[in-house]
C-alpha cells in the first residue's frame, strides 16, 4: 500500500514540475540511493568494506553506453548487460573476499576501483577518456520532450522497488544472517549459514545494484565521462552510507539526499570537498555512529515493542526430526586428535555417545574440552582420527551442514548477534525455507515471518525469557544472553546438542532454569553432550561422563563410578591426594 | 633496452622501492600496537613532500628541511591517533571493527584538501636535496646515475636498518612486542600502553615524512599523490611479511624495480601494472602476512 502511494507520488511529482532542475536533482538522488542501498547491505549488514565501489558503477555505465552507442542495441539489453558485467566483477571480488578480510579486503577493493578508473581514463579509443562518450541514447521512451520526466520516473521506480525489497530482507533470515556474518561468523555457521556462499553472493548483489545505477546514469544525460567514476565517487558513496546510517533501512536514501544536495550547493567551489567529506566521515563516526536514519529513529521512538503471545502450546516449538532410536549409537569418535603447531590439545579420544542420553565431558582447564566441541561441530579440523555421526563420516562435512544434520552447538563465549533483538536471534536458528527461488519468495512474504515469530516466541517462553523478546541482545544481562543462545539452539530442533559450559556464570535461579530445560530436552529425545565445571550439576544430570586431562581420556563411566575414580580426583584436585605435602 | 638504461631503471626502482619499504614499515608498526593502519598514511607523506618543497625553495639547508618536515608530520601522526583511532579501539561501533579505516581515510582527505588550498592542484617539482642540480650525475663504471636517486636509495636502506635496530634491540621494541601480544598484561607489567601506541603512530608518521622528503625531488608531486604510495606500501608489506626483516625490504625493492620496468616499456598504462600486481598479490597472499594470530572459538 505504501509502495503504491510512493509510486503515485513519483508520477505526480514528475508531471507537475515544469522546472527540470528539481527533477534532475531527484534523478541523482535516486541513482545514488540505488548504489548506496547495495553498499549498505554489503558493509552495513555483512561488514565487508568496499572502497572501490565506483568501479562497478563504471562497468555498468560503459557497457550499457557502448552497446547502445556502437552496436545500436536496445537500451534494455544494454542496461541488462551492464548489470551482468558489474555482477561478474562483483563475483570476482566476492571470491577474493573469501580469502581476504577486513583491511586487506578494503585495500583490494581500493585497488580494483583505481584499476577501473585508470582503464576508463586512458583507454581513450574505447571510452573517450575524460572527454567522454557523447551522444549516448537517452532513456525517454521515444518522447524526448519529456525525457527528464521519464528518467525521473524510471530511476524513482527502480529505487522504490529496491528500497521495498531491502526493507523486507532487512527483517528476514537473509538480513539477520548477514548481520550474524558481520558480528560473529561462528554464530552464522552455528545456525547453518554457508558463510562463504553468502559473502560472495552479497558482493554480487551489491555490485549488480551499482551496475544498474551506472547503466541508468549512462542514459541520463547522454554523456559519460571517466571523471564520474573516480575515487572521489567511491568516497562519496561511502559517505552517503555512513552519514545516512549504517545498516539502517532508510540510511541509503537519506545519505543520498545529503550528498547530492551538498554537492549541488558546492558545485562552484569544488576544492572544499575533501574538508567536507573527510570532516563528515570523522564527525559522523565519532558523534553520530547511527547516522541520520538512526537519529530519526530515536527521535520518533518508533520501535514499539510487540508482545509475544502467539500459540500457548509448546509443541509448536519442536519440529521432530526422525531421530535415531534411543539407546543406539549416535556419535562416535575414533582416535580423534588435534595439535596446534606441535602443541597437542587432544589425543586419541574415543567417544561413544548414545542417543537419548546426557553425556558429560569434564576435565580441568586446558584439558581440551573446547577443542573437542570445535572438532565435533566442525569449526576446527582434526589433525587425526575420525568422527562418525549416525554412521556417517563427518570429515568432509562443513560446520553449517553439520547443523542441518541436527548437530547444534552453544558457545562458552557467547556468539550472538548483538544488534538484533532476542527473538530475531532465535528466529535465525529456525530452519531456512526451501533453497532456491521459492525460498527467496517466502522470505519476502508475511506468512513465513509470522509463523517464525510464533515458533520463536514459544521457544522463548520455554526458556522463560519471553518478556525480553524485543529487547536488543546488547542490552541484556549475561544470564539472559546465555538463555537466548540456548533458545537459538533449541529453535534448531537439534538431535544432538553440544553445550559448552551452559551454566557457567549464571546465578542459581538461572542455573536451575537451564537444568530444567536440559531435562525437558532429554525427555523429548534429544541427546546432549555437556561440557561443564559445576560438579553437582554434572553428576545430577548426566548418564555418562568422559573425563579429559591434558588432551587424553582418563576415565569414561557412569557418574557414580567417576566420583570414586582416584585418577579423576587427582586431576581435579591438582595433585595426588595420598602424596600430600609433608 | 640497452644495459645502461637497464641499470638506470634498476637504480630508480631501488630508490622508489626503498621508499615503499619505509611506508610498509609504518603500517607494520601501528598494526602491531593497535591492529589498525593509517589509511591516510600516504597523505602524511604528501604533506611532508610539500613542506620540504617550501623549505628547500626558501633556501633552507637539507638537515633543516628534513627535521622541519618530519617534526611537523610527526605531530600530525599524534593527531591521527587521537581523533581517528583511539576513540574506536575496543568499542562496539555500527561500522563493526572497521571504523578506523573510514576515519583515518577521512583524515587523509582533509589533509589532501589542505594541500590543494595551500599549494594548489598543479604538479610541482621539489629542488634536489642531496645535489645542487636536479640532474647532477654520478659516473660509476661508465654508467651514469642521477645522484639524487642513488642518495635516496642509500638513505632509505639506512633508515630501514635503524628501524630494525630500534625494534629488535631497544627497550621500546620490547614494549611494542608486549603491547602487540596483550595490552592488559603489558599494563600490569608497568608498560605505559597508551604511550607505546602513540609512539607507534608518531614513528609511522616520521617514516611517512622521511619518505615524502626523499621522493619529493625524484617524482612530481601533486596533492593526491598519497594514494599511490598508500596502496603500494601496503602491497609491499603484504608480500614481504613482517616477521622476516629481509623479506619486506626485498619485496619493496622488487616492487619498485618491476614498476620501473613497467613504466619504461608501457608509458601509457605503466602505473596500472602496480595496482594489478597489488590486486593479485592480495588474492594469493591475503593473510598471515602480518603474522596474525589464529584464535580459536570457545
pLDDT digit string, tens, across residues A439-458: 778 878 788 888 888 888 88
pLDDT digit string, tens, across residues A11-53: 888 888 777 888 889 999 999 999 999 999 999 999 898 989 9
Mean pLDDT of A267-291: 82
- Whether the CB-CB separation of A355 and A325 falls below 8 Å is answered with yes
**Coil, helix or strand for A572?**
helix
Question: Is residue A336 over pLDDT 80?
Answer: yes
Q: Interior CA angle at A122 toward A119 and A125, to 5°?
A: 100
Mean pLDDT of B188-200: 90
CA nearest to B26, candidates B15, B16, B41, B43: B41
Provide the strand spans (E) within A135-207: none
Work out the mean pLDDT of chain B and round it to a whole number: 83
For position A268, what pLDDT does the model report?
A: 62
Q: Which residues of A touch B268 (CB under 8 A)?
A: 122
Q: Which residues of B touch A369 (CB under 8 A)?
A: none
Q: How confident is the model at residue B4 (pLDDT cuts 50, 70, 90)?
A: confident
Q: Which of B280, B282, B294, B298 to mutate to test the interface with A (most CBs of A within 10 A)?
A: B298
A·B CB contacts under 8 A: 155
Question: Residue B102: which residues within 8 A CB-CB, separation 6 or more?
Answer: A49, A238, A242, A281, A285, B95
Q: Out of B114, B287, B296, whose CB is closest to A100?
A: B287
Our CA-based measurement puts residue B138 at a distance from the nearest CA of chain A, in whole angstroms, of: 35
Q: Which residues of A touch B275 (CB under 8 A)?
A: 111, 114-115, 118
Domain ranges in chain B are: 3-231
Mean pLDDT of A344-354: 89
Contact between chains at A101 and B287 (C-beta distance less than 8 A)? yes
Please state, in angstroms and rounded to a whole number, the distance separating the CA atoms of residues A97 and A206: 13
Mean pLDDT of A153-176: 92
Question: Is residue A235 over pLDDT 70?
Answer: yes
Mean pLDDT of A530-539: 88
For position B96, what pLDDT does the model report?
A: 67
DSSP 8-state code for residue A472: B
More confident residue, A81 or B177: A81
Percent above pLDDT 70 for chain B:
86
Question: Is residue B288 over pLDDT 50?
Answer: no
Question: Is residue A410 over pLDDT 70?
Answer: yes
**What is the residue whose three cell numbers read 522546472?**
A19
For position B244, what pLDDT does the model report?
A: 58
Entry pTM: 0.86
Cβ–Cβ contact B28 with A under 8 A:
no
More confident residue, B193 or A436: B193
Q: Are strands B137-140 and A407-409 parallel, antiparallel or unpaired?
A: unpaired
Q: Which of A195, A281, A367 to mutate to test the interface with B (most CBs of B within 10 A)?
A: A281
Please state, in angstroms and rounded to a whole number, the distance separating the CA atoms of residues B280 and B278: 6
Mean pLDDT of A486-494: 90
Q: What is the 3-state secondary structure (H, E, C) of A499-520?
A: EECCCCCCCHHHHHHHHHHHHH
Mean pLDDT of B248-256: 81
DSSP string, chain B: --HHHHHHHHHHHHHHHHHHHHHHHHHHHHHHHHS---TTHHHHHHHHHHHHHHHHHTT--HHHHHHHHHHHHHHHHHHHIIIIIGGGTT---TTGGGHHHHHHHHHHHHHHHHHHHHH-SS-B-PPPSSSSSTT-EEEETTEEEEHHHHHHHHHHHHHHHHHHHHHHHSHHHHHHHHHHH-HHHHHHTT--HHHHHHHHHHHHHHHHHHHHHHHTTTS-B-TTTHHHHHHHHHHHHHHH-SS-HHHHHHHHHHHHHHHHHHHHH-TTTHHHHHHHHHHHHHHHS-SSTT-PPP----
**How many of the other CB atoms lie within 10 Å of CB of B231?**
22
Q: Interior CA angle at A76 toward A74 and A82, to 5°?
A: 105
For position A582, what pLDDT does the model report?
A: 39
ipTM confidence: 0.84
Percent above pLDDT 90 for chain A:
27
Cell of A348: 586419541
Torsion of CA A563, A565, A566, A571, to 10 degrees: -70
Rank A29-43, A222-236, A267-281, B84-98 by mean pLDDT and report only the highest. A29-43
Question: Is residue A294 over pLDDT 70?
Answer: yes
Cβ–Cβ contact B7 with A under 8 A:
no
Instruction: Count CA atoms closer than 13 A to A435's CA, side-chain side.
Output: 6
Please state, in angstroms and rounded to a whole number, the distance separating the CA atoms of residues A436 and A61: 30
Question: Is residue A195 over pLDDT 80?
Answer: yes
Q: How confident is the model at residue A200 (pLDDT cuts 50, 70, 90)?
A: very high
Contact between chains at A108 and B108 (C-beta distance less than 8 A)? no
For position B216, what pLDDT does the model report?
A: 85
Q: How confident is the model at residue A521 (pLDDT cuts 50, 70, 90)?
A: confident
Our CA-based measurement puts residue B283 at a distance from the nearest CA of chain A, in whole angstroms, of: 6
Q: Which residues of A touch B103 (CB under 8 A)?
A: 281-282, 285-286
Q: Which residues of A297-327 are buried (b: 16+ CB within 10 A; e: fewer)?
A: beeeeeeeeeebebeeeeebbbeeeebbeee
Question: Is residue A134 over pLDDT 60?
Answer: yes
Cβ–Cβ contact B107 with A under 8 A:
yes
For position B292, what pLDDT does the model report?
A: 44
For position A228, what pLDDT does the model report?
A: 86
Cell of A539: 553428576
Q: How confident is the model at residue B266 (pLDDT cuts 50, 70, 90)?
A: confident
Amino acid at each position: 500500500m505504501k509502495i503504491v502511494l510512493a509510486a503515485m507520488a513519483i508520477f505526480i511529482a514528475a508531471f507537475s514540475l515544469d522546472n527540470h532542475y528539481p527533477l534532475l536533482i531527484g534523478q541523482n538522488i535516486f541513482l545514488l540511493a540505488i548504489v548506496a542501498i547495495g553498499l549498505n547491505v554489503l558493509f552495513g549488514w555483512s561488514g565487508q568494506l568496499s572502497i572501490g565501489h565506483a568501479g562497478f558503477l563504471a562497468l555498468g555505465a560503459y557497457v550499457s553506453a557502448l552497446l547502445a552507442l556502437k552496436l545500436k542495441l536496445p537500451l534494455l539489453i544494454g542496461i541488462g548487460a551492464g548489470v551482468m558485467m558489474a555482477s561478474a566483477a562483483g563475483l570476482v571480488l566476492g571470491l577474493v573476499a573469501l580469502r581476504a578480510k577486513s583491511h586487506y579486503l578494503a585495500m583490494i577493493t581500493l585497488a580494483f576501483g583505481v584499476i577501473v578508473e585508470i582503464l576508463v581514463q586512458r583507454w581513450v579509443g574505447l571510452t573517450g577518456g575524460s572527454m567522454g562518450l557523447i551522444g549516448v541514447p537517452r532513456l525517454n521512451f521515444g518522447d524526448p520532450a519529456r525525457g527528464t520526466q521519464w528518467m525521473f520516473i524510471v530511476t524513482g521506480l527502480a529505487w522504490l522497488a529496491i528500497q521495498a525489497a531491502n526493507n523486507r530482507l532487512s527483517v528476514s533470515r537473509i538480513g539477520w544472517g548477514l548481520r550474524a556474518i558481520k558480528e560473529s561468523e561462528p554464530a552464522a555457521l552455528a545456525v547453518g549459514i554457508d558463510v562463504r556462499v553468502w559473502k560472495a553472493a552479497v558482493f554480487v548483489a551489491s555490485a549488480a545494484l551499482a551496475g544498474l545505477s551506472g547503466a541508468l546514469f549512462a542514459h541520463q544525460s547522454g554523456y559519460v565521462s571517466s571523471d564520474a567514476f573516480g575515487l572521489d565517487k567511491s568516497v562519496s558513496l561511502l559517505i552517503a552510507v555512513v552519514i545516512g546510517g549504517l545498516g539502517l533501512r532508510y540510511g541509503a536514501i537519506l545519505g543520498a539526499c545529503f550528498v547530492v544536495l551538498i554537492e549541488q550547493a558546492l558545485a562552484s567551489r569544488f576544492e572544499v570537498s575533501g574538508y567536507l567529506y573527510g570532516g563528515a566521515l570523522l564527525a559522523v563516526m565519532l558523534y553520530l555512529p547511527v547516522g541520520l536514519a538512526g537519529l530519526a529513529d530515536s527521535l520518533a521512538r518508533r520501535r514499539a515493542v510487540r508482545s509475544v503471545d502467539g500459540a500457548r502450546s509448546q509443541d509448536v516449538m519442536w519440529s521432530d526430526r526422525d531421530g535415531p532410536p534411543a539407546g543406539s549409537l549416535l556419535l562416535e569418535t575414533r582416535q580423534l586428535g588435534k595439535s596446534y603447531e606441535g602443541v597437542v590439545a587432544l589425543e586419541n579420544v574415543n567417544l561413544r555417545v548414545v542417543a537419548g542420553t546426557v553425556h558429560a565431558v569434564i576435565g580441568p582447564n586446558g584439558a581440551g574440552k573446547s577443542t573437542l566441541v570445535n572438532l565435533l561441530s566442525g569449526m576446527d579440523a582434526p589433525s587425526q582420527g575420525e568422527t562418525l555421526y549416525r554412521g556417517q563420516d563427518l570429515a568432509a562435512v562443513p560446520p553449517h551442514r553439520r547443523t542441518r544434520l541436527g548437530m547444534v552447538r552453544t558457545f562458552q563465549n557467547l556468539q550472538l548477534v548483538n544488534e538484533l533483538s532476542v527473538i530475531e536471534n532465535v528466529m535465525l536458528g529456525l530452519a531456512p525455507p526451501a533453497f532456491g527461488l521459492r525460498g527467496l519468495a517466502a522470505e519476502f512474504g508475511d506468512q513465513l515471518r509470522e509463523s517464525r515469530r510464533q515458533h520463536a516466541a514459544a521457544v522463548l517462553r520455554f526458556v522463560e525469557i519471553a518478556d525480553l523478546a524485543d529487547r536488543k541482545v546488547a542490552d541484556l544481562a549475561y544470564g539472559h544472553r546465555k538463555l537466548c543462545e540456548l533458545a537459538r539452539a533449541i529453535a534448531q530442533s537439534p538431535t544432538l546438542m553440544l553445550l559448552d559450559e551452559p551454566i557457567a556464570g549464571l546465578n542459581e535461579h538461572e542455573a536451575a532454569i537451564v537444568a530444567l530445560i536440559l531435562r525437558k530436552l532429554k525427555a523429548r529425545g534429544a541427546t546432549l553432550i555437556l561440557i561443564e565445571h559445576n560438579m553437582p550439576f554434572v553428576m545430577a544430570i548426566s548418564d555418562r561422563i568422559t573425563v579429559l586431562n591434558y588432551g587424553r581420556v582418563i576415565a569414561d563411566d557412569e557418574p557414580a563410578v567417576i566420583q570414586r575414580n582416584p585418577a579423576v580426583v587427582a586431576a581435579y584436585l591438582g595433585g595426588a591426594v595420598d602424596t600430600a605435602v609433608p | 633496452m640497452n644495459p645502461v638504461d637497464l641499470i638506470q631503471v634498476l637504480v630508480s626502482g631501488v630508490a622508489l622501492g626503498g621508499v615503499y619499504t619505509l611506508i610498509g614499515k609504518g603500517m607494520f608498526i601501528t598494526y602491531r600496537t593497535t591492529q589498525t593502519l593509517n589509511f591516510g598514511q600516504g597523505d602524511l607523506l604528501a604533506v611532508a613532500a610539500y613542506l620540504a618543497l617550501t623549505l628547500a625553495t626558501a633556501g633552507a639547508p637539507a638537515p633543516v628541511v628534513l627535521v622541519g618536515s618530519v617534526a611537523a608530520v610527526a605531530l600530525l601522526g599524534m593527531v591521527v591517533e587521537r581523533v581517528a583511532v583511539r576513540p574506536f579501539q575496543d568499542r562496539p561501533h555500527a561500522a563493526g571493527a572497521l571504523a578506523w579505516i573510514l576515519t583515518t581515510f577521512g583524515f587523509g582527505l582533509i589533509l589532501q584538501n589542505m594541500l590543494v588550498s595551500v599549494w594548489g592542484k598543479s604538479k610541482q617539482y621539489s629542488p634536489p636535496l642531496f645535489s645542487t642540480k636536479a640532474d647532477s650525475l654520478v659516473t660509476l663504471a661508465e654508467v651514469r646515475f642521477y645522484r639524487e636517486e642513488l642518495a635516496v636509495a642509500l638513505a632509505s636502506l639506512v633508515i630501514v636498518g635503524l628501524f630494525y635496530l630500534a625494534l629488535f634491540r631497544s627497550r621500546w621494541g620490547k614494549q611494542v612486542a608486549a603491547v602487540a601480544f596483550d595490552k592488559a598484561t603489558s599494563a600490569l607489567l608497568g608498560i605505559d600502553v597508551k604511550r607505546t601506541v602513540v609512539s607507534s603512530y608518531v614513528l609511522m608518521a616520521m617514516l611517512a615524512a622521511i619518505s615524502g622528503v626523499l621522493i619529493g625531488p625524484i617524482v612530481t608531486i601533486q596533492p593526491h599523490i598519497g594514494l599511490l604510495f598508500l596502496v603500494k606500501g601496503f602491497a609491499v608489506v603484504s608480500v614481504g611479511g613482517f616477521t622476516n626483516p629481509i623479506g619486506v625490504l626485498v619485496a619493496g625493492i622488487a616492487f619498485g624495480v618491476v614498476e620501473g620496468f613497467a613504466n619504461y616499456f608501457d608509458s601509457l598504462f605503466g602505473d596500472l601494472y602496480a595496482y594489478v600486481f597489488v590486486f593479485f598479490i592480495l588474492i594469493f597472499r591475503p593473510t598471515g602476512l602480518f603474522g596474525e594470530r589464529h584464535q580459536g572459538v570457545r
